[in-house]
Structure 1
Amino acid sequence: MKKLLFLSFLLAFFAGNHSLQAQNFDSPVEYMGFISKQHENISKKYMAYSSASAHGKKARKVEAIRQKLLNEVQEARMNISGMPAFKGDKSYRDTSVSFMKLYYNILNDDYNKILNLEEIAENSYDEMEAMLNVKDAIDQKLEDGNKRVKDAQANFAKANMVNLVEGEASALGEKLKKVHALNKYYNEVYLVFFKPYIQEQSLVTAMGKNNVTGIEQSKNALKKYAEEGIEKLKTIKPYEGDNSVTAACKTLLQFYIKEADASSAASEYTLAKENFEKMKKDFEKKSSPTKAEVDAYNKSVVDINKASQKYNQTTNDLNRQRSESLNNWNKTVSQFFDEHTPRYK
């Protein structure tokens, strides 16, 4: 019985690249090795693409990698489809060809969806959730496809008396699994962050326009989303003992709650300013105001100036705290990915 050690179905049997014509396809070991080599090459290239995306680069930033990979997937598919059936058995070959087609469709169709969603997702929770769901579905499709190939490989080995020994998962296989698990974990936390983050932008816009109704609606929604987010974070376990991302998210959500409460001052100041402007307009129409009217006007000037100073101070404090909280979040996320995401060049 022939014995062949596979560290994973992705691991190559031979270090070198052999042309299709140079292969001895009468040997089941070499037949399997040729297919495995195609899988290894594509998986490494896909890993590089996935790793670049995970390390903070938008899909459009790594578009050149995707286009190159599309061509390489087509080449691998043609290499495998050009192989003969092994003693009349074409199941392993055809399953591998189907997997390469799956790779191509994911890179061509699914990632086009991501490209289209990417820009609008930055300003919409629903679109962001949709984009992350597409990414998660991609990872799941690949896992399912990998399993089909691995099962076909095992059946081929059994039929041809090749002792397929499953050792520890290969480094590449482990990294592919880790990327999926890492993305799934981070995306869950990210959506908790993103919902109040988008709402806070609406609040800031309303404050800039002195829109009292908008301020009140936005601050109430912001506080609600932030409080819900904090409760959601309690259900998310640390990733491999690392709770840095959830902790940074919680800090930011706590700021949003504080900001929502402090935003009442914006509504109060806006109303006070509107009343003052009306009083000022009426006062300036008077040709000979009484002393009482002058005193009342002067007092209102002092009051509105004090209110303005207080409002400006509150705004400056909130801006500083927002900047600190967001910087801490971004820095923590970057460190989290640097720590846990495998890289491929």
Structure 2
Amino acid sequence: MRFSTLLITAGLLTGLATLTQAQTFTDPGAYNNFIVSEQRAMLKKNLRYISKSAHSDNEKKIDAKRQDLIKQTEASLNKVAKMPAFKDDKGFKEQTTEAFYQLLKVYSEDYKAVDMMAATRTATVENMEQYFKLQEIAEAKLQVVNDSVDAAQRRFARRHNMTISADPEGKRLAEYMRQVSEVNSYQHKVYLAQFRIEKATAKLTDALSAQDPAAFEAARVQLVGDSKTATTELTAIPAFRGKDARYRDAARNLVKFYAGFAATQAAQMKELLERKDALTKADADKFNGFINLYNTQNQKLAQAYNQAGNAFQATYIPVFND
């Protein structure tokens, strides 16, 4: 997602005016800069929302940031809508007004759908896929809207003989957004591949607790298949930016353990469960040894995977408090 973060060259920068309903503009630079300042105000609110989403699991706090973003967008839309045309040139203002309205719809409707989906995203792989898809759809809509404003700004600049150049703050914000998009895309691939094994794993442990051999075997077979799919998907994912493979490899290590356990130890456990009422002490010790192995390795590798995911986000999506 990208906002138009361009400002005109220093020679035309005369400061950002404070708009009143009756205000008129005689300088195309001031006219341009006022619109850009409103875009930037929305962008910063959006970055705070994205940062909170990336670094917090508190849904109330995340939604509070979304509400802040909506309020800012409503305020910016109202200000730009009240702007007069610049010397009968109303294209830039009208295109921006329409764009801000579309942004408001995305923040109010699409982002809300994403946040609502967050509560049920772990129910199934399909839910998780839909959760990520909603994020991507919202981002694509924002890209289209912002490209339209960029085009309108360039037309305005040509008509009024202005030279457009990027300012330092605009570059910084644009770079942050580029990083967010890059990190999200990569993390979605790794996370979704690893997530494929979660349901079969839960079924396996539930069946074990119930001492149900048939359910245990069904879950084991599913875990073998899901692990193969996850392994194939993770193998196809390169290191991030060609050099950082820690997050992907942590996911691969976890999946590899589940695959091996399902194929070997769990297969033996299934046989022991089928004759659970006639186990010898050696059988019981063997069974408990498998459980201890699972608990120890699962805790170790799951913790390493979660830490790698947190470190990945912390490294490549800095907290935005601007």
Q: Secondary structure at the match of 2:293?
A: helix
Letter in 1 for 2:254: L
Q: Residue 286 of structure 1 corresponds to which residue in structure 2?
A: none
Q: Residue 186 of structure 1 corresponds to which residue in structure 2?
A: 187
Letter in 1 for 2:180: V
Figure out how many residues of one structure are paired with residues of the other and give that number. Answer: 311
Q: 1:15/1:55 Cα in 2 relative to 1: closer, same or farther (>3 Å)?
A: farther
Q: Residue 243 of structure 1 corresponds to which residue in structure 2?
A: 245
What is the TM-score when the length of structure 2 is the normalising length? 0.90
Q: Displacement, 1:14?
A: 6.8
Q: Which has the larger radius of gyration?
A: 1
Please show how residues 255-274 of structure 1 align to structure 2 within 5 Å: 255-261=257-263, 262-274=265-277
Q: Secondary structure at the match of 1:89?
A: coil
Q: Residue 79 of structure 1 corresponds to which residue in structure 2?
A: 79
Q: Residue 151 of structure 1 corresponds to which residue in structure 2?
A: 151
Given candidates 228, 231, 255, the residue that maps to 1:253 is 255
Contact 1:11/1:37 (<8 A) preserved: no
Q: Residue 299 of structure 1 corresponds to which residue in structure 2?
A: none
Contact 1:248/1:329 (<8 A) preserved: yes
Q: Residue 219 of structure 1 corresponds to which residue in structure 2?
A: 220
Q: Residue 45 of structure 1 corresponds to which residue in structure 2?
A: 45
Question: Does 1:340 pair with 2:316?
Answer: yes
Q: Residue 175 of structure 1 corresponds to which residue in structure 2?
A: 176
Letter in 2 for 1:271: E
Q: Residue deviations 1:289-324, cap 9 Å, x none?
A: xxxxxxxxxxxxxx5332122111210110110011
Q: Displacement, 1:112?
A: 2.0
Unaligned segments of structure 2, at least 5 residues: 8-12
Q: Residue 316 of structure 1 corresponds to which residue in structure 2?
A: 292
Contact 2:227/2:258 (<8 A) preserved: yes
Q: Residue deviations 1:201-224, cap 9 Å, x none?
A: 111111111121211111111121
Letter in 1 for 2:212: N
Q: Secondary structure at the match of 1:162?
A: coil
Q: Displacement, 1:129?
A: 0.6
Q: Displacement, 1:24?
A: 4.9
Percent identity between matched residues is 23
CA distance in 1, matches of 2:163, 2:116: 47
CA distance in 1, matches of 2:16, 2:296: 57
CA distance in 2, matches of 1:58, 1:124: 21
What is the TM-score when the length of structure 1 is the normalising length? 0.84
Contact 1:23/1:30 (<8 A) preserved: no
Letter in 1 for 2:305: W
CA distance in 2, matches of 1:97, 1:215: 59
Letter in 2 for 1:115: D
Contact 1:60/1:115 (<8 A) preserved: no
Q: Displacement, 1:167?
A: 7.2
Unaligned segments of structure 1, at least 5 residues: 1-7, 277-302
Q: Residue 204 of structure 1 corresponds to which residue in structure 2?
A: 205
Contact 1:14/1:37 (<8 A) preserved: no
CA distance in 2, matches of 1:126, 1:29: 49
